[in-house]
């Protein structure tokens, strides 16, 4: 599957031609910028495919509004099935055959890990990856790769701090995906619990993305006496976990990773009544939260959705994510001031100053620098009430925020 935001007529584009030097860069001509993207439109994480569709629609909007510095965006989004081997194949195709200038928001921790060295060796920007693995902030070893959303490790540290305050004698169990994504939650809990980790975390259970279900892991955690559960799973397995926990009559204090709290792709498939009391943390405004009913920023997003994605499920927070990360990419391109060389694009991605997005929570601003590749470093806790997510407490950050 390939989603592509096409160019308008050559004549129209020539009239909008930008600075001549921009055409010297790979993936850039006098009238266009080619941007590549890998996305799981199929496979175990296909619920995230709507992100790629939302981004395709976003760049269509940008093109209709005249592009950036006289350049239209040729956005090429391809399916990798959440399979790292396929991601490598598709990334090479995007770079070596399609000739993209850089990759934007490729999704998945294992997927991005598989292409990180290749892109860095070729000095091709891997921008605002769609994964919160803490390692995307490793500017020293991988200067061409940068994250976007809060680190999973920071998120888990916030959960740990809440547990210490509200349930200091908790018997914690962790259900996690057996890769860098899941293991970041173990690291974050260790950061937050410190020397209490070994005593408080009484059971860890992992799963593989190829597993059909996580039923046995949930039963094992319950059997170990866990009364506080931290789940780091992608949407399919997150929904399974919520449903299984409820169906076996288990009622632990339950924390769910931020990347699997979409009402449309997780809560509804799990059964909205089965998740009451579930806790997560957010940095973005939830489209189902009545708090944002008349919010100017969310109305901007709704107007975009109405025009460019009619019929799409407005309860799916992944569309809000797609809009926010795309606005960030657009800001970087604007800061390039017509010089879309890979070096300058990367330089500007690492030069965001108090950038505010209409779709993130009040008080959270994006900042990057040559030594800060974690643009968003704060989150706020929230609880599921059966209908929507309700924010509570203050905006929090990890120890490194």
Rounded to whole angstroms, the maximal C-alpha distance in the chain is 69
The confidence score (pLDDT) of residue 22 equals: 44
* Together in a domain, 166 and 130: no
DSSP state of 377: -
| Positive/negative CA dihedral, 111, 114, 117, 119 | negative
Answer whether residue 289 is part of any domain.
no
Q: Which two tokens stand for residue 11?
A: 């004549």
For 250, residues 6+ apart whose C-beta sits below 8 A from its C-beta are 218, 222
CA distances in angstroms from 65 to 59, 105, 268, listed in the order given:
10, 22, 36
Could you tell me the residue range of the domain that residue 391 belongs to? 152-282+380-397
Question: Angle, nearest 10°, between helix axes 152-166 and 180-193?
Answer: 40
The confidence score (pLDDT) of residue 397 equals: 83
Report how far Cα 336 is from the mean position of its chain's Cα atoms: 24
Answer whether residue 123 is part of any domain.
yes
The confidence score (pLDDT) of residue 12 equals: 39
The confidence score (pLDDT) of residue 23 equals: 52
The confidence score (pLDDT) of residue 399 equals: 57
Other CB atoms within a 10 A radius of the CB of residue 97 amount to 8
The confidence score (pLDDT) of residue 330 equals: 98
Q: Which two tokens stand for residue 9?
A: 């007529």
* Together in a domain, 142 and 239: no
pLDDT tens digits for 329-341? 999 999 999 999 9
The confidence score (pLDDT) of residue 244 equals: 98
Answer whether residue 288 is part of any domain.
no
Give the three-class secondary structure for 285.
coil
* Together in a domain, 119 and 31: yes
What pairs with residue 73 in β-bridges? 33
The confidence score (pLDDT) of residue 129 equals: 98
CA distances in angstroms from 80 to 37, 45, 46, 101, 334, listed in the order given:
10, 10, 10, 19, 29
* Together in a domain, 202 and 316: no
Q: Which residues of the chain have pLDDT under 70?
A: 1-24, 398-401
Residues in the chain: 401
Answer whether residue 287 is part of any domain.
no
Taking Cα atoms as reference points, which of 205, 174, 217, 218 lies closest to residue 192? 174
Residue 42's CATH number? 3.40.50.2300
Q: Which two tokens stand for residue 13?
A: 């584009």
pTM: 0.89
Radius of gyration of the chain (CA): 21
Answer whether residue 375 is part of any domain.
no
Q: How many domains does the chain have?
A: 2
The confidence score (pLDDT) of residue 333 equals: 98
* Together in a domain, 320 and 353: yes
The confidence score (pLDDT) of residue 358 equals: 98
The confidence score (pLDDT) of residue 5 equals: 62
The confidence score (pLDDT) of residue 9 equals: 36
């Amino acid at each position: 599957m390939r989603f592509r935001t096409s160019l308008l007529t050559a004549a129209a584009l020539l009239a909008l031609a930008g600075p001549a030097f921009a055409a010297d860069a790979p993936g850039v001509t006098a009238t266009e910028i080619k941007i590549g993207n890998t996305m799981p439109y199929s496979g175990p994480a296909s619920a995230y495919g709507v992100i790629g569709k939302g981004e395709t629609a976003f760049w269509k909007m940008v093109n209709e509004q005249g592009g950036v510095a006289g350049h239209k965006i040729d956005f090429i989004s391809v399916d990798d099935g959440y399979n790292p081997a396929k991601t490598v194949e598709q990334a090479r195709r995007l770079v070596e055959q399609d000739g993209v200038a850089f990759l934007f928001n490729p999704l998945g921790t294992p997927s991005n890990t598989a292409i990180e060295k290749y892109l860095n060796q070729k000095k091709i920007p891997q921008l605002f990856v769609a994964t919160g693995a803490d390692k995307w902030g490793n500017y020293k070893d991988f200067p061409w790769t940068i994250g976007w959303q809060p680190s999973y490790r920071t998120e888990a540290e916030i959960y740990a701090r809440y547990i210490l305050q509200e349930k200091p004698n908790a018997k914690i169990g962790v259900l996690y995906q057996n890769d860098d994504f899941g293991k970041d939650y173990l690291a974050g809990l260790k950061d937050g619990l410190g020397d209490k980790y070994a005593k408080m975390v009484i059971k860890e259970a992992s799963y593989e993305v190829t597993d059909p279900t996580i039923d046995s892991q949930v039963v094992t955690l319950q059997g170990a006496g866990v009364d506080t559960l931290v789940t780091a799973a992608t949407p399919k397995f997150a929904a399974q976990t919520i449903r299984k926990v409820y169906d076996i009559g288990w009622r632990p204090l339950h924390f769910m990773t931020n990347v699997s709290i979409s009402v449309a792709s997780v809560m509804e498939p799990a059964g909205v009544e089965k998740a009451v009391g579930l806790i997560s943390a957010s940095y973005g405004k939830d489209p189902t939260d009545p708090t944002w009913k008349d919010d100017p920023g969310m109305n901007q997003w709704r107007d975009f959705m109405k025009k460019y994605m009619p019929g799409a499920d407005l309860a799916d927070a992944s569309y809000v994510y797609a809009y926010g990360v795309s606005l960030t990419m657009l800001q970087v391109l604007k800061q390039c001031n017509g010089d879309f060389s890979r070096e300058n694009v990367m330089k500007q991605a690492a030069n965001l100053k108090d950038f505010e997005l209409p779709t993130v929570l009040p008080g959270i601003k994006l900042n990057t620098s040559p030594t800060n590749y974690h643009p968003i470093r704060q989150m706020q806790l929230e609880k599921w009430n059966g209908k929507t997510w309700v924010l509570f407490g203050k905006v929090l950050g990890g120890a490194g925020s």
